[in-house]
Amino acid sequence: MSASELYQRVILDHNRNPRNYGELTQFDYFARGFNPICGDRLTVFFSVENRGGNELQEIEAFRSHEILSQMRFISNSCALCRASASIMTEVLTGNPIGKCLNIFQDFMDFIQTEARDEVKEPIGDLKAFSEIYRFPARRKCVSLPWKTFVAALNQHHDVTTEESNYSDQGKGTIK
């Protein structure tokens, strides 16, 4: 079985049997995402635990003490978007928010860059999206859950893939 066949199976499995699918009844953050190109809609919910730290510290330092403890999503979306959301919930849950943001940025770089030696290889099932950089419209499907996650952290409750002014904690525009 080739790598692309394996990755296709991973994406189909996460689409048909999405992990962490459904609403959280109690959550700290949420956001709704919309991709007008293909009509994807999803909502991301998650909770964090503070494992020390001081609320008066700068936000990045404070977030190093916050652990993403639980994450779920609901969607009416294409297979790529649903699979990306499912994998995202598995990869991010249990990590400090600062690490989640690093994983987010590494994954965004990975799906947008053809030069594979210039980007970090993603962890776990995220590798299934290794060829998505070739399809700009489909990149939006894959990035929507991630963009929605970061929007929730920034207390933006509605986000679209077409917002040109969206930025991740000052790290730049998501395309």
**Rg of the chain taking only CA atoms, in angstroms:** 15
Cα separation, 109 vs 100, in Å, equals 14
CA dihedral 14, 49, 158, 161 (to 10 degrees): -50
Check residues 19 and 1 and name the one with the higher pLDDT. 19
CB 100 within 8 A of CB 168: no
**Greatest distance between any 2 Cα atoms in the chain:** 53
135-173 tens-digit pLDDT: 998 999 999 999 999 999 999 999 999 875 444 443 333
89-134 tens-digit pLDDT: 999 999 999 999 999 999 999 998 876 667 777 888 999 998 899 8
Q: How many residues appear in the chain?
A: 175
Can you give the pLDDT at residue 116?
62
Query: Which residues face 75 on adjacent strands?
Result: 42
Place of tokens 């690093």: 102
Cα separation, 132 vs 108, in Å, equals 11
CB 161 within 8 A of CB 144: yes
Which CATH architecture best describes the domain 3-160? Alpha-Beta Complex (3.90)
Phi, psi (rounded to 5 degrees) for 159: -145, 150
pTM for the structure as a whole: 0.85
> Angle 100-102-103 (CA atoms, 0-180°, nearest 5)?
65
Burial profile 127-165: b = 16 or more Cβ within 10 angstroms, e = fewer: ebbbebbeeeebbbbbbbbbbbbbbbbeeeeebbbeeee
